[in-house]
Amino acid sequence: MNLDIAFLSELWNRRFEPPRRYAPPLLVHGGECSQLIWERYMHGPPILLVEDNPMDVDLTQRAFARRKLANPLLVARDGEEALAWIPRWEAGEPTPVVILLDLKLPRVDGLEVLRQLKVHPAWRTIPVVVLTSSGEDRDILDAYELGANSYIVKPVDFDKFIEVAAHIEIYWCLLNAVPPPSESGHGG
């Protein structure tokens, strides 16, 4: 499926307009709108950014702010903070729609965070997008072997990063279908 990014961006940017009696064209299927997609279109679960570099955190926040992202952006500044979310999710805090994970983290590295998330029965279905400056073949292979859902090398240029943010937003926050809720934890 070839998506018109300009159309999707325009559609996404309109999500702050007053609710209409009909769904935007992309969300209509067979004359009806999927309730799950409509809810994601209007507001969504959080995104967890796991990033230790303050400049990259700021860049990501500005990129998503420029895109008017509806999903709240939570930040864990090292691997230990990222893993500290697990008991919070178990206590009922909303699970993220996606985790954006840097690999080169202090205290607990990104690959270990990924390993612990993907072996946990309740949280292994949370999509994890590795968003890192490392383009090393070994890091890419290790991340996928541990269950990463995607691997993106961070662009240095801000405009290119805005494009990456747009793709993350459209795919992971709007189009991607998540598993239904389960008794063991994450889903829908």
Asked if residue 105 is part of any domain, the answer here is yes
User: Domains in the chain: how many in total?
Assistant: 1
Domain that holds residue 162: 27-175
Say if residue 60's pLDDT is above 60. yes
Output the pLDDT for position 43.
Answer: 59
Residue 188 resides in a domain = no
Is 164 part of a structural domain of the chain? Answer: yes
The beta strand positions in 5-57, using DSSP E, are 28-29, 32-33, 47-50
Indicate if the pLDDT at residue 18 is higher than 70.
no
In a domain, 21, yes or no: no
How do residues 100-135 score in pLDDT, each as one tens digit?
A: 999 999 999 999 999 999 999 888 999 999 999 999
Q: Are 158 and 63 in contact (CB under 8 A)?
A: yes
d(CA 145, CA 180): 25
Asked whether residue 2 is assigned to any structural domain, the reply reads no
Give the domain CATH number at 114.
Answer: 3.40.50.2300
Instruction: Tell me if 6 is assigned to some domain.
Output: no
Is 51 a member of any domain? yes
The predicted pLDDT at position 76 comes to: 96
